[in-house]
Amino acid sequence: MVIAEQRILRGDREAECGRLERAVVAADAQLGLLKLQLEGRHSGEGQDLIEAHRLMLRSPEMAGEARRLITDECLTAEWAVSRALVHIRSIFAQLDDAYFRERGGDFEVVGERLLRVLLGLPELRPGAAAPSGAIAVGVDISPLDPFHLHRAEIAGMVSESGGPTSHAAIVARAFGMPYVVGVGELSSKVRPGAMLIVDGTHGEVIVDPDQDVLRAYQLRVDDLRQRAKLLEATRALPAMTSDGVRIHLAANVETVAGISTALSAGAEAIGLFRTEFLYLERADFPSEQEQYADAVSALQNAGGVPVTFRTLDLGGDKLPLAMKIPTGPNPALGVRSVRFLLRHPEILRRQLRALYRAASVGPLRFMFPLVSGVGELKQLRAICDEVRAELRNDQIVHDPTTALGVMIETPSAVLTADHLARRCDFLSVGTNDLMQYTFAADRENEAVAHLYQPLHPAILRTLKSLAGIAHTAGVPISICGDMAGDPFLSWILIGLGFRELSMDPDRIPLVKAVIRGSSLAEAEALTAEALELETQAEVSVLLEARVGLRFASELEGFRPRTPNVVREEPVGTGARDERGRQVPHHN
Ligand code: PEP
Ligand code: MG
């Protein structure tokens, strides 16, 4: 950042010090907000770093020295800060210890933040300073980071913490960004400026690959693109098994713009619109009118295709800036989703009013996440009744017949699914959370990522039971967790009785290819065998032998999420995610 060398009049020194102080307060507030965003996430390192930055900001070396330069030498606040930075740089450059020398970079970042405030420039977001095509490497990546990083044209991400079904991973996939999570001791293995290959499919990060490895990956990238093109040709074809059973493939989206991508991939519906992502970054909660406008534009983008909105699923790792949600010692088990909405019914009411109104514009239905049983559902339904009555009394156009669904994401919902099914219009199984709570394994914690086991007998039995309950109750049921989009699992899911699957848009062509190349009869036979097995590993072997072999060419380059292979190659990693893509590393 180039700062003009300007001086002020002696009489203006006090005012200039005041300007500096206000900028320090504003920069500190930015850091405070960032810290709030990180709160409740299990890596405390991000928060510690922010606290360190706040201390640096107000330190004698930074704000103190700048104030001295304004007072003693009549410099402008900007020039004073940049002179203070020159001094700090010279001190750090003399240090013998490489680790401490590098900490000087933190002062640079803090100084730049302060300078941007003084110059009236917008706050730098993650990735904004990195060149296009760079890789973001971090300890902890929040669900919001992929939005910023995508905007900054960052090509991929790697983090020490996180699981493959963490919300950051879900958003990264929606943007087609390769992301490898759970890479231990990243900072000691990756230095800024290194070349990195981020192979999201196999969960591998290769540091400074040689020419042969680079060439091999370039070929893989070309091959994957070629395959994607071929699969695009199936866009208009129905997902129908060879024995004539129709499976409906829908898409999960986080943004209104994502709907067009979903339709291009062949989505027949939007099976899950994660509405909270539209509002996480705001300092306030959206008004009814804004939510109405967003829902209407989603419906317009969908062009007549049905859209299932999920009511705000806040808490856990998705913390809005608008309000501090008391997460408690274990955020995933704390005030999340409908628990939060029931504590703040005014927020729920606003969204429900918007949704009931938008439903009069196009095919819309909505569902509640993380419902634990009929007690909660009754409370939620009572609020829906009141909202509809209000809209009717106020003569506001709305659709009182809007279908209301329940997400099955907790073991208590599974065990009471028959009751829930009688009291709603449809069910949708959120297998990401359902697995988190069934295995008692935090989906954000890389140390237990191996317990994401969609083929574990507990999950197979659970899904079988849910499909049966929905069938008996005559209520439609879908799966919208990540496992719905894993083509290796398609036989199992249709074999268990599911006919609606909602997934990341880019998985639709693959899943469709598998379904069109299979009969329900063989899927059911395999499922019956799988249900006899005792471990996820055994079921995986069975699937590899049937589905893996049959679709070897379609699934080339795509590996199932299980079993969770940990490789020891250059940087070993845990879980995998997304397509492989070779990209340079810059930050
Ligand atoms: C799920 O839990 O499976 C789900 C679809 O919701 P989310 O991933 O947003 O929690
Ligand atoms: Mg969920």
* Closest protein CA for atom 8 of ligand 1: 432
- Chain segment 74-92, per-residue pLDDT in tens: 999 999 999 999 999 888 8
- Chain segment 506-517, per-residue pLDDT in tens: 999 999 999 999
Atom of ligand 1 nearest to the CA of 272: 5
Give the ligand whose atoms come closest to the C-alpha of residue 272: 1
Name the pLDDT band for 147 (thresholds 50, 70, 90). confident
Chain mean pLDDT for the chain: 88
317 CB near ligand 1 (under 6 Å): no
**Could you tell me how many residues make up the chain?**
587
* Annotation marks residue 53 as catalytic: no
Give the ligand whose atoms come closest to the C-alpha of residue 167: 1
Distance 431 CA to ligand 1 centre (A): 7
430 CB near ligand 1 (under 6 Å): yes
* Annotation marks residue 167 as catalytic: yes
Residues 175-184 as b/e (b if ≥16 CB within 10 A, e otherwise) read: bbbbbbbbbe
Helix (H) or strand (E) holding 293: helix 288-302
CB 333 within 8 A of CB 372: no
The one catalytic residue among 53, 424, 480, 585: 480
432 CB near ligand 1 (under 6 Å): yes
- What does the pLDDT read at residue 236? 87
CB 580 within 8 A of CB 199: yes
Rg of the chain (C-alpha set): 26
pLDDT at 525 over 70: yes
Distance 228 CA to ligand 2 centre (A): 28
- Chain segment 549-586, per-residue pLDDT in tens: 999 988 876 664 433 333 333 333 333 333 332 233 32
Which alpha helices (DSSP H) does 120-191 contain, by range?
Answer: 145-151, 167-174, 186-189
Q: Where are the beta strands (DSSP E) in 254-339?
A: 270-274, 307-310
**The token pair that represents 541 in the structure block:** 């072997």
- What does the pLDDT read at residue 405? 98
Distance 478 CA to ligand 1 centre (A): 13
How far is it, in rounded angstroms, from Cα 455 to Cα 536?
5
Spatial neighbors of 327 by CB under 8 A, at least 6 apart, are: 39, 40, 315, 316, 319, 334, 335
Burial-class residue 315 by CB neighbours within 10 Å (0-12, 13-18, 19+).
buried
Spatial neighbors of 225 by CB under 8 A, at least 6 apart, are: none
Degrees (nearest 5) of the Cα angle 134, 140, 144?
75
Question: Ligand 1 test: best mutation among 270, 406, 407, 443, most atoms within 8 Å of CB?
Answer: 407
- What does the pLDDT read at residue 549? 92
* Closest protein CA for atom 1 of ligand 1: 430
pLDDT at 206 over 50: yes
Q: In 3-state terms, the chain is what percent helix, strand and coil (to 5)?
A: 50, 10, 40
- What does the pLDDT read at residue 578? 37
Can you tell me which residue has the tokens 């001791």?
A: 185
413 CB near ligand 1 (under 6 Å): no
480 CB near ligand 1 (under 6 Å): yes
**Pick from 94-103, 157-166, 506-515, 536-545: least confident:** 94-103
Can you tell me which residue has the tokens 């919208």?
A: 480
Distance 432 CA to ligand 1 centre (A): 5
Burial-class residue 304 by CB neighbours within 10 Å (0-12, 13-18, 19+).
exposed
Amino acid at 405: G
90: number of Cβ within 10 Å: 10
Strand partners, 135: 156
How far is it, in rounded angstroms, from Cα 27 to Cα 390?
44
- What does the pLDDT read at residue 585? 30
- What does the pLDDT read at residue 128? 64
Name the pLDDT band for 280 (thresholds 50, 70, 90). confident
